[in-house]
Chains A and B, each alone.
Chain A
Amino acid sequence: MQAIPPLSALFARSPFKPMRQHMAVVHDCVGLVPGLFDALIDGDAAALLAAREAIDAKESEADAIKNDVRLHLPKSLFLPVDRRDLLAILEVQDRIADVSQDIAGLLTQRELKVLESMREGLRELVQRCVEACGQARAIIDELDELIETGFRGPEAARVEAMIAQLNQTETETDALVTRLLQTLFQHEQTMDPVSVMLWYQLIQWIGNLADNAEKVGERLLLLIAR
């Protein structure tokens, strides 16, 4: 007798669960970034390298899930949402892991000195960015419930509130970025030019973590708004 009954074949693998899995892995990945900066500030080269390897591993894991979702999201899928919207969200989610990897790469390529006056601000910025990504993950975790309610009602209002909160967090990270850049500007005369350039880039990249987290929320808002 048949092994796969037709009715169950009717159900393609829902992409929503892998979407959540992907975001969870991305969150794990970005969660390793604070450790990276701790190691940098402590001047612990071994810990820095270990953190970078852990981030690389998580980034690959996220990539694998991302590719899997893309491969198993054929045009013929009968989705309750526009597949382009879904792929766009996935893209932004993945960028968070990519940026984490870029940051880790930059920190291990060159020996960077962290100015005393920047340490606290740096830690705070990284922490806030990770929080923003956690908030994005919590929002993606609501996908199932959103589908259940047809993206309407109290559930949609709840998610909208979560997205508003994420936007708030992102605005705060913007302020932290600005303050760090100002500190950097004050000290750039005493630093070598290449380091200054890299620091400007690095701080932007850290800010990008929160930017991308915010975009995850904004993309999801588009699904609700439809």
Chain B
Amino acid sequence: MEIIATHGTLFLVLAIVFGLYMTWGIGANDVANAMGTSVGSGAISIRQAILIAAIFEFAGALIAGGNVTATIRKGIIDPGPIAQTPELLVYGMLAALLAAAIWLMIATSRGWPVSTSHTIVGAIVGFGVAGIGVDAVQWAAIGQIAISWILSPLLGGLIAWLLMLSIRELIFTSDNPFLSAKRWGPFYLFLVGWIVSLVSLFKGLKHLDLHLTNLQSLMVATVIGLLVAIAGKLMIDRVQPNVSADRDFHFASVERVFAPMMLFTACAMAFAHGSNDVANGIGPMAAVVSIVQSGGQVGQESALPLWILGLGGIGIVVGLATMGYRVMQTIGVRITELTPTRGYCATLAAAATVVLASKTGLPVSTTHIAVGAVMGVGLARGIGALDMRVIGNIFVSWLVTLPAGALLAAIFFFIFKAIFG
């Protein structure tokens, strides 16, 4: 208890610094991946992507980011056995943050496609085993998370596949694809607005003291969906067929209809990502803050302070603006197989899956879902070629990240313990 009283301010500062470091890494790499499908399809520019990400990541973290934070803080380890020595939990959370941030840096600098969610979960497990004991880790929760790692790409893939099939059925195989695209465009936009607002309304707004019944949520989401559809229709109506481009690729005009729609899916994706992944960085930060502020109470029910969510949002945006820019530029140049329609399907499916997952509190990885969604589009024969070996590598890196994060966190935990006693 004395340790917390003595070093309380230092712990707070460290938590904020490490938390910002972590969210900076998320913004630099993860967000760039999340926005990659939009940029890669050529529908929005990198500049637009950064602006969209800045606004909607922040909004997502603030409005719908509360649930996953709770899982990160309390769902993975049981701090009960160390209730008498709360400083251990502080060390652990600091160690987890630092370990995750560093692993993220190492991995991304080498081009390993690791997930921030895996990293932080692994780190917390590592601390749990090292600092409390094997029994403290809630292995059932880990199992649930592991299932979500398989489930989320599958779900993302399934949704993307269904969307792709519907676009093919309604638009590409119709007699006049361009007119069909204009006719169905607003409907697809409605889906974007509806799905994202519905799922975030369902569970994400508790800490904003906004309590809606299911029916109210449904109605609000429908209204938002309609607004998005109307706004999109105004944009779509201005699209003229490009006859000269049609000579090279005669669905070029259809893709022109979907290009403005990507603006909306990109917003949805950024919102979804912010609502889910920002928690990776701020969950442990919030745990430290809660312990220090309560003077050493562990496991106490406390609301997540809004300023922490805001801090996480800022970290992400700064990371995106400083480093993510380059990553996204690379994606924009390299992904040439993504047309706006394919990008739309992949992005909306990923966004829907992410928000769905964050609603249930599972710390899924946006990268996994994006991979799944892109594969779903590929399965619907929408994409020329996916490299299965790369998918294999991604799976391997998913496996490696957990122990790597755990090991680093354990090491840092012992270092902190040695420094502060």
Taking beta carbons and an 8 Å cutoff, which residues of A are in contact with B?
A: 1-17, 74, 76-81, 144-145, 147-155
CA distance A5 to B36 in the complex (A): 9
Q: Is the CB of B330 within 8 A of A3?
A: yes
Write out the residue numbers on chain B whose beta carbons fall within 8 Å of the beta carbon of A155: 172-173
Chain A residue, CB-CB nearest to B254: A148
Excluding A80-B381, A81-B381, 15 further A-B contacts by CB distance (< 8 Å) are A1-B323, A1-B326, A5-B113, A11-B385, A11-B387, A12-B385, A12-B387, A14-B385, A79-B384, A79-B385, A148-B168, A149-B173, A150-B172, A150-B380, A153-B173
Q: Is the CB of B381 within 8 A of A10?
A: no
Write out the residue numbers on chain A whose beta carbons fall within 8 Å of the beta carbon of B392: 76
Q: Is the CB of B40 within 8 A of A8?
A: yes
Which of B33, B174, B370, B378 is the one whose CB lies under 8 Å from A80?
A: B378
Chain B residue, CB-CB nearest to A151: B381
Write out the residue numbers on chain A whose beta carbons fall within 8 Å of the beta carbon of B380: 150
CA distance A6 to B335 in the complex (A): 11
| A10-B391 in contact given A77-B386, A80-B384, A148-B251 (Cβ < 8 Å) | yes
Interface-forming stretch among B75-83, B103-111, B286-294, B409-417?
Answer: B103-111
Q: Does B253 contact A (CB under 8 A)?
A: no
Q: Is the CB of B384 within 8 A of A7?
A: no
Q: Is the CB of A150 within 8 A of B381?
A: yes
Which of B29, B172, B249, B388 is the one whose CB lies under 8 Å from A77?
A: B388
Q: Is the CB of B374 within 8 A of A5?
A: no
| A8-B331 in contact given A2-B108, A14-B337, A150-B380 (Cβ < 8 Å) | yes
Determine how close the nearest CB of chain B comes to the CB of A26; give it in whole angstroms. 19
Q: Does B37 contact A (CB under 8 A)?
A: yes
Q: Is the CB of B375 within 8 A of A78?
A: yes
Write out the residue numbers on chain B whose beta carbons fall within 8 Å of the beta carbon of A154: 173-175
Write out the residue numbers on chain B whose beta carbons fall within 8 Å of the beta carbon of A7: 33, 36-37, 113, 331, 335, 367, 370-371, 374
Ordered by A's residue number, 5 sampled pairs between the chains whose C-beta atoms are within 8 Å are: A1-B323, A6-B111, A7-B33, A8-B36, A11-B383
Write out the residue numbers on chain A whose beta carbons fall within 8 Å of the beta carbon of B337: 11, 14
Q: Does B47 contact A (CB under 8 A)?
A: no
Q: Is the CB of A9 within 8 A of B113?
A: yes
Chain A residue, CB-CB nearest to B32: A5
Q: Is the CB of B382 within 8 A of A78?
A: no
Q: Give 3 nearest A-B pairs by CB, closest first.
A: A6-B113, A14-B384, A153-B173
Write out the residue numbers on chain A whose beta carbons fall within 8 Å of the beta carbon of B238: none
Which of B112, B168, B335 is the one whose CB lies under 8 Å from A11?
A: B335
Q: Is the CB of B37 within 8 A of A76?
A: no
Write out the residue numbers on chain B whose beta carbons fall within 8 Å of the beta carbon of A5: 29, 32-33, 36, 113, 327, 330-331, 334
| A147-B330 in contact given A7-B33, A12-B390, A80-B378 (Cβ < 8 Å) | no
